[in-house]
Chains A and B, each alone.
Chain A
Amino acid sequence: MLRIDGAHAFYGHIQALRGVSLDVQEGEIVTLIGANGAGKSTLLMTVCGNPRAAAGEILFRGEDITRWPTHRIARAGIAHAPEGRRIFPRMTVMENLQMGAVAAAEDDARRAARLEHVFGLFPRLAERRFQRGGTLSGGEQQMLAIGRALMSGPKLLLLDEPSLGLAPIMVRTIFDAIATLNREDGLTVFLVEQNAYMALRIAHRGYVMVNGAIAMSGDAAALLADEEVRAAYLDGGHGKIAAGEGGAP
């Protein structure tokens, strides 16, 4: 469904991505883990065309979207729930959700069904539909960010650190919802995470990113069992991979 081939990306002179290649198949949850500053968020942003890939190509359902403008990529069926949630603080929950549906030109019935679906997934949002986004708790804001992304009816959901700043119980709730979305609606999810344990538990496959390049990849279960991954991201984390010495995949 999504295929990234040797993507390079720069912020000014700083190179954030150094030839990243990965793919996400339809119906999968694929996770990308890596240390702070590895370039995970940059990769998601590059998929959305901001920053644009300086080299390499990005294919979505067989089409080359590398040079498409950001809004066109979003309209093609890629929803991005950016890092740090970025909900609209002064708008109500309802308005936030409706903003998610603006880009998808659809009839009211479909939109209402979507809304119902999001409220079914996150009943907390239904209770708080008239509350301002900025006054929601962190966990509720994350639900809102995911719900808003779902409102466009995406084929691929890009999630950037949904567990950011959340208590373990809320992380579990959010991840359960992601797993449910994948299992019941067949939604394809590309999940960027720091919380490697939780991410690898719900994902089918995983990639490990180090210094702007993919260092390892494999089945989620295999990665979860892997000595080096465990050492780097699960048990305290001072292993070789995290320090940037990991070999090629």
Chain B
Amino acid sequence: MTTAATDRETPPFAAAAREAALTAAVALALTGPMIGLHAASQATGLVIETRWPEVAIAVALVFLGRFLLALLGRAFVWPVLAAGLAVAGGGLFVPFPNALLKAVCVAGGLIVALRAALMLVRPRMTAAARAKPALAARWVAPAAGAAMTAFALLLPVMPFADRQLLDLATLVVIYILLGWGLNIVVGLAGLLDLGYVAFYAVGAYSFALLAQYFAFSFWEALPLAGLFAAMFGVLLGFPVLRLRGDYLAIVTLGFGEMIRIVLTNWVALTRGPNGISGIPKPSFFGAPFARSPPEGTEAFHQIFDLAFSPMHRVIFLYYVALTLALLANVFILRIRTLPIGRAWEALREDEIACRALGLNPTSIKLSAFSLGAMFGGIAGCVFAARQSFISPESFSFIESAIILAIVVLGGMGSQIGVVCAAVLLIGLPEWFRELQDYRMLAFGGLMVMIMVWRPRGLLSHRDPTVRLPAARETPP
């Protein structure tokens, strides 16, 4: 009661500023010695260097963040949203003395903006959900999906899209594809697979080996890579799918590692740790992206009468990945509404009930496992084409963990959630490359934050697959 009364008396800005000043004072006390004084070793021995600008910036950031959050608590939602975005955006361009502060500034701004956005969205969503559950789902998800697709399609022609960004975007799309594939297994069918990277590796190595030994092109190898991975899914699925939960997780983890170890040690076939290089890039329906194509073929830039540019190949690969991902998305959305997709979800919910309804759990699990594997294989094939070089190192357990993190963070079973999480987990760390050392720390911090605030993932909303009006389903 007393706090409410004081709040009403003091103007909100003053109260927020006071709160922020207090927090900043604490931050000063902490950062002063820890950041401000730096023991550097020099020829003469240890000397203490001072870094006061860093301290000042850190304290200022803490003040700003606390101030905005305090205002948010006092219902200034829109201004805080704008300010948060401004801080995040500004942080990208303003020079900072070191990259960590830059990251703190950008991430902090984004978090504040995100909280403001959640405050805007949440009350409305619950109200709308209560009034008409179908409505929010019917418009919000497709609208967001369409906006993202449009952005992705236009990305290469954006003024800021340079080669590095497009390369990164291709990688993000590959991870989105992987996330969607694993989402079938983990999110829809509820089978915890910790060795998903095995299928990624099978796809990548299928292409690499076919290209090396039989001179297959990307387009010839792509369906085969998907097929091989799916076959591997079936092979692996038969023995392991009788296990459940933790046991399944452990066994798949083992299989994932086994594939990597086989690839490392089967030197005669895979050249072991040296990897396979010279993997061809995809051609444009037979036309290569080369300055001077081999005799008898016309290169891409000649067909379209353009000046040769190495960017063409990068842009094309990006579009190839994007097209495959969009096709996968359509496929998954469609199959979710079919009996088999429905059965995956039912199996996740209650296996005994599924049996009672005459469903065969083994074949349902196997179909989920092999379809998920197929998408992993396709992603692997694209990955091999992007890198031109692969080695077993690219397929270690951490890859499985990252893909799983994308699925879990995104919200199990949510297609758009996977996209958001992939951008967050793959895109941002690459952007802040200089922060290599802090990546795992940030990764862990992000995980903890998600688990606290959104334990079921960023977008945990599950769209019902049937929302036709009653009249369609049951003629009156």
**A90:B339 contact, CB within 8 angstroms:** no
Q: Which residue of chain B has the shortest Cβ distance to A133 in the bound complex?
A: B349
**B349:A88 contact, CB within 8 angstroms:** yes
**A88:B358 contact, CB within 8 angstroms:** no
CB distance from A111 to the nearest CB of B (A): 9
CB distance from B220 to the nearest CB of A (A): 37
Identify the stretch in A112-120, A204-212, A220-228 within 8 Å (CB) of chain B at 4 or more residues. A112-120
CB contact between B474 and one of A80, A103, A119 (< 8 Å): that residue: A119
Q: Which residues of A contact B314 (CB under 8 A)?
A: none
**B353:A82 contact, CB within 8 angstroms:** yes
**A95:B466 contact, CB within 8 angstroms:** yes
**A98:B342 contact, CB within 8 angstroms:** yes
Q: Which residues of A contact B309 (CB under 8 A)?
A: none
**B356:A86 contact, CB within 8 angstroms:** yes
CA A102 to CA B134, docked complex, whole Å: 23
Q: Which residues of A contact B133 (CB under 8 A)?
A: 130-131
Given A86-B353, A102-B342, 6 more contacts at CB 8 Å? A69-B360, A71-B358, A74-B355, A112-B474, A119-B474, A149-B356
CA A88 to CA B358, docked complex, whole Å: 15
Which B residues are closer than 8 A to A by beta carbons? 133-134, 339, 342-343, 345-346, 349-350, 352-360, 462, 464-467, 470, 473-475
With A103-B359, A130-B464 as given contacts, are A94 and B349 in contact (CB-CB < 8 Å)?
no
| Residue among B349, B359, B470 with most chain A CB within 10 A | B349
CB distance from B417 to the nearest CB of A (A): 15
**B356:A94 contact, CB within 8 angstroms:** no
A-side interface residues, number (CB < 8 Å): 39
Residue A3 interfacial (CB < 8 Å): no
Residue A171 interfacial (CB < 8 Å): no
With A87-B353, A112-B474 as given contacts, are A103 and B358 in contact (CB-CB < 8 Å)?
yes
**B342:A112 contact, CB within 8 angstroms:** no
CA A90 to CA B348, docked complex, whole Å: 10
Chain A window 118-143, contacts with chain B (Cβ cutoff 8 Å), 1 for yes, 0 for no? 01000000100111000000000000
**A95:B465 contact, CB within 8 angstroms:** yes
**6 closest cross-chain pairs (CB), A and B:** A74-B358, A103-B358, A86-B353, A88-B349, A80-B356, A71-B360
With A86-B356, A112-B475, A130-B134 as given contacts, are A102 and B343 in contact (CB-CB < 8 Å)?
yes
With A88-B350, A91-B349 as given contacts, are A102 and B464 in contact (CB-CB < 8 Å)?
no
**A99:B343 contact, CB within 8 angstroms:** yes
| Residue among B352, B353, B465, B470 with most chain A CB within 10 A | B353
